[in-house]
Amino acid sequence: MAERGLDRLSIELSSACDLSAWISTKLNELTISDVNTRKRVVAPCFAIALDHFDAMLVLFGRSPKICSSAFALTRLVFESYIRGMWLMHCATDEQVENFSEGTFQLPRRIEVMIGAIEKTCDFDGQLSISHSSAWSHLCDYTHTGTLQVQRWNKFDAIEPNYSDDEILEVIHFAKAYVLLVAVSFAEAVINNIELANEFLAKAKEVAA
């Protein structure tokens, strides 16, 4: 009844906000045991991805919506997750220590990190598929490319022109990776398999 009269985008935005709040409630104030340098660099990567998602929702919730910045953040949600996963599962102890001290640069090409992650973790090539289908668009939005500029043009005006379907697409993409962030945070950082499975069940529910 509360959703009566709301359009599809408003309903999805409300749902995404509820999801973000639920994830935060589950993760906030949990204790990280056996804290080490690896966890000290991985946990922020995952937390930053969650922050980027929250920022997207705030921008979409404004009136008028601030779509250009929200779209630009979509890549950062994905990239923060990939960096966290690579540092957790692929980087050597020396690389992790050097990264924490600012003396090691992560691989410049994200597909290199994705390939290493898929060799180590059970993704069945899905990260590569997601990267191949979305990366060029994500970069375009982040770096003020043609796609971003096109969405600031109408026939008779220069102003934001993002369709509801386009906004829904980036929300759905970011939601999927935020849930993967939550799974990995619970599993690899907090070592709470029960919570990780709860997040995984939610991810499957959202994807259905």
State the average pLDDT over residues 106-120: 95
pLDDT for 182: 98
pLDDT tens-digit readout, 159-172: 999 999 999 999 99
Q: How far apart are the first and last CA of the chain?
A: 23
Helix axes 67-89, 126-142, angle to 10 degrees: 140
Question: What distances in angstroms separate CA 102 from CA 34, 35, 39, 48, 90, one per listed residue?
Answer: 23, 19, 16, 18, 18
- Report whether pLDDT(1) > 50: no
Provide the whole-model pTM. Answer: 0.94
pLDDT tens-digit readout, 51-69: 999 999 999 999 999 999 9
pLDDT tens-digit readout, 63-108: 999 999 999 999 999 999 999 999 999 999 999 999 999 999 999 8
Closest to 184 in 3D by CA, of 114, 95, 113, 89: 89
What's the gap between Cα 118 and its chain centre?
18
pLDDT band at 2 (very low <50, low <70, confident <90, very high): very low
Residues in the chain: 208
Give percent above pLDDT 90 in the chain. Answer: 90
- Report whether pLDDT(173) > 70: yes
Cα 102 from Cα 166, distance rounded (Å): 37
